[in-house]
Structure 1
């Protein structure tokens, strides 16, 4: 049946699919990053921005296309990173303005909305340059506006306009000499084209999934850039998010103009995202704070980023791969370019891709409303093979660190897949003998080693050290989920329910769950959990902690607060457990993982 209109759910799913495609191509975008500064982070910044957009989309339950577009715009503005991320934020802001008041949009309404989006994207830039993402957005929007009446449906319109955007992308080196010299197209523009590729894939297939490797043809393309950090005039990529009332964006733009270049002031009269390359980041923050509350701000040293990106073409030769039972703050997956193979979560006949098409919030809402118990299924060897081959595009070697083999068959699937790709990439597969944030700490340890340029043997050695030394202690609020998944027998589970027991568990050296203690109330369980961690972490140096929870943010905040106070820590990261783990742990579960020397 032809798709002749966009409603909220269609727009939401299309953008999520586009975000998945862009995130998949993050590393390639980093490799071709030349303009405005060759600091090798365009892919990371666009991926972080679109991850925020995708989360906003997933959490929006409204069916109107305008409400979804507002959620996209708000999430993009909050999560925008870097030059291209700020432009994307203004693009979504314009799209929401163009769709204002619409429950659904036909192709004519969509054409008008993308024209508004293209116009506002350009207006946000102090000194717009041709041959960048702005050019491709403009050419794409112009094509849609000129052709929408001549096509039958949205898939055809997106297909044909993608071709126009790709042609515009291929012309970017003609418009920016720095691109021609480096032998690449503009990275931001390429990212926008990848976004459209994901949208088209969803329009044609109706599925949100990793796009097959068959259409990837970039290999190890990397911009030809000499290491010359001294050529970067303005050292700091400075970003700020301001919330206020009646913010005069033009006046703000004029005040910041003399402080640097690559300036973008995006957003509305109540919320503004600022991006500028400058040598005076503190002055930027001071001016921004005059217009409202400074919600977050950051400055990145682009000279340092440039040196790390270009001093050694093979600096990070080892790719890091894991599965979705690995819990890390979402930005860490992108920051360290960790590839993830997702588990499938199902409610009856309805299946979801863990951490991709279902968020933790969605999962617990469905769990409360559903009459069907959720289940999980491990990734197939083919799922791992696809990710391995994707890694082979830019890496000679890879390390896969997988959920405990004693808890799941996922490890076996990863090992089988590794045997099929040995001619493409050298893959080592490690049994983490753990799960959740403990697996997260192991993966982050390996990723930091890989980022530093360590060899596969060195990264593997560091991961093995982390596997031996990491500790996970967790509590569950009830045993019902453990009984459903077969982790606890009906007899023992029935007794625990009768006594209102709150088990406190760990993962032992064999990678199996083991009961450490029992409590008779949630409050007592939290206190016992903290005391166990204090005792076991005593005497260790350089401690790293992480807290996870299953729809229990107050419990997580309590645990993190206790850790900060006792160990005199500035921060303890908190993250949600994956929906797949939530199936087995149940609502109210919470965990502490720590790693020390």
Structure 2
């Protein structure tokens, strides 16, 4: 296998995954409207192949480019694991070309790297499928297969392993689906192999589900930004100095990101003078994949907060949230930078790194506020230039409770301890709707049913929001509960929320009840019991 063939593999895998991402999304166990494994993996793949330049003749350079791109573009847990697979593959790939045995070894290195990246690996997931792919590749290489046959054997072994994932994870078996991340990985393999063989990529690999209703809460109003142009490009040359380039470009804007090697750097900056940026770099190498966006024209801005100069302070907090009300609450509690994201729109590692670098503090705490963003946040903490700690908040109520314990005068380690302990005092719940028929935890679910979720587990299914809320609170409220907070969503009227709060007051007279506008899409209510 040479650089051209590996490039075809990655571009084919990316194209096939983009075509089938919604079908992979539909395999998520919970039938909620934010199942986004396929979307996250697809966005990660797009970032990966974007780093490949046409003149790369070394297969190792192709693999390293994909590793870099996926590392910074990783979204969600599935995207982070995919980036680690590519990182391991790159470590086992070098030279102008590799033979079948070297390819099999590289695939095993990919698996080893991915398993190391996950604190508690679970079988029946993308990890299991990747491990089977590596085993199939090793068997084929040992039997004398060529590189393409090794990839085909990897796909074959992966398909067999994927079919067995419901036997390894009961939640998959009950829902009647295979693991979504594993399926996404095999879509990449399938598309990549087809591309190498010159086969048609237009054929759908999976049946496509109906497109769910779009609940995007993005506004079309122009943003009041300090720096107007989002500028990014790849700089190629010899003996490139990323650190020196950062120092030169820093006065020209913010959200500065310079990552890469001595021969290839990816540069991202928000600036009012893109021409000045290019003047500084044009004599250092060649510029590729240049892109400039007027951020006031962008419908979906990466950051919700206005980018303004901030007073320098020792410790800052970066948090993830989506919804006007939720964002305002976090800002009022002292969060410096809020990244737009959460359910169905996970920010990338690069988004998180950029927000950390923009934060005014020399040290930064990250609140992911979503279990599917924690891995990307941890990856960002390793890549950022500052001292960064992740407080592993899985829900918005956990993030709010953590911020109530934040003390900017204390050390980052003390804050991590206090904030993590505080999260244990809150129970989180959500009310949303089912996007498809399913079976979860013994409950038969029909598309359109109202779902009550406690700590990530579907507890109540009904056709009435009020009935679901009361039923869910019966499971959430115990004798120690004192405060109930309801954050109502983008499509809920204030009077409806107040009427529901009165029903709850009558049912739980000993609870203090607060309601706030959250403005979140997809979820009618986010619930906090403290």
- Shorter chain as normaliser: what TM range? 0.3 to 0.5
Relative to the length of structure 2, the TM-score reads 0.44
For normalisation by structure 1, the TM-score amounts to 0.40
Structure with greater helix share of residues: 1
